[in-house]
Amino acid sequence: MFRPAAREVVKIPTRFFSCKSEPTRAAPAKKSTRKELAGLIPAFPEIYPDFLQSPVWNRRNALKEELERQDMLERRMNIDIPEFYVGSIVAVTSSDRNLGSKEHRFVGICIRREKEGLLHQFTLRNTIENIGVEVMYDMYNPTIKKIETLKLEKRLDSDLTYLVDALPEYSTFDFHMEPQAHPAGTPIPVNEVKVKLKNPPWTRRWEILSYRGIEDTWTQATPWFKRKLHKTLVNDYEKYDLIANYRTGSTKEQEVFVQEQMQKFEKERHAAGLTRRRILKSAASHK
């Protein structure tokens, strides 16, 4: 009778089939590679809001921002754009072919700065013969010949649109106003004046907006509006939004990168002898 040959059984230690997984070692933490820029301007977002990224994340395009920055830097080499904030007194001289002198100079308080890149705009307001006049300028419009900062200061708010409903005395400035020098290296002064609004109705519901530069508006509001809407701010929910600044602001790394690019562009133009004008500068930090 045929019998199969006996097979040799090899015993394999059970440790090779152990189901126990060894604890994975955590990857070594990478050191931060962010460069510290020499001469970094802390108030860069306030001085150069036109160089910031778009607050809408899905509209950011690295190539578009790079090309626009090159055009903006070239424009700043041809015209001196001084440092100014919302609340500063600014004079703008622009060319106008319809005038006899071919130039137009407007003086007013900067009430708003908006948009990024080549589309950056700022609005000046002044009261002329008891009529409020607002002029919106494109920062990089080639028809602008000169921009002067007559009085460098800030206000309590980053938007002074409410001056349209304020008394005329808060937005009346002399067209022949002399420039006031700001000592280099000193902080930018903050004008803490609180404007008084006219009697309602207003263009907007200022009493439910969180503006610090307006005198008590709730007492001036009409009883009908008080009954309709209690004293609740419109943007009260923002204090619960923990990543609001992360979603709408620019990162520190991006600001450092832009400043490095501005310094490099400035050094190249100076080395070539094309101009001696400085682009990256701050009155407070004496840069």
Identity of the amino acid at 9: V
> Tokens standing for 98?
């319809």
pLDDT above 60: residue 153: yes
Residue 5: pLDDT band (50, 70, 90) is: low
- Give the pLDDT mean for 83-96: 94
Tokens of 23: 């604890």
Prediction pTM value: 0.79
Contact 133, 125 (CB under 8 A): yes
**Whole-number mean pLDDT of the chain?**
81
State the residue for tokens 């307006």. 214
Give, to the nearest 10 degrees, the angle between helix 252-271 and helix 62-78: 40
Position 230 pLDDT exceeds 80: no
Q: How far apart are CA 223 and CA 76, in angstroms?
A: 52
Name the CATH code of domain 39-192+240-271 (choices 2.30.30.790, 1.10.630.10, 2.60.40.10, 3.90.15.10): 2.30.30.790
Average pLDDT over residues 48-55: 89
* % of the chain at pLDDT higher than 90: 46
Q: How many helices (H) and strands (E) does the chain have?
A: 5, 7
CA distances from 124 to 88, 132, 239, 259 (A): 10, 11, 31, 27
When mean pLDDT is compared over 36-45, 46-55, 268-277, the highest value belongs to 46-55
DSSP-based three-state secondary structure for 134? strand
Phi/psi-derived region of residue 20, left when phi > 0, alpha when psi is between -120 and 50, beta in every other case:
beta
Contact (Cβ atoms closer than 8 angstroms) between residue 54 and residue 60: yes
pLDDT at 90 over 90: yes
pLDDT tens digits for 53-77?
A: 888 777 888 899 999 999 999 999 8
Q: Which residues contact 26 (CB under 8 A, 6 or more apart)?
A: none
DSSP 11: P
Q: What is the mean pLDDT of residues 109-135?
A: 94
Is residue 163 classed as helix, strand or coil in its secondary structure? helix
How much is the pLDDT for 236? Answer: 64
Query: Under DSSP, is residue 144 helix (H, G, I), strand (E, B) or coil?
Result: strand
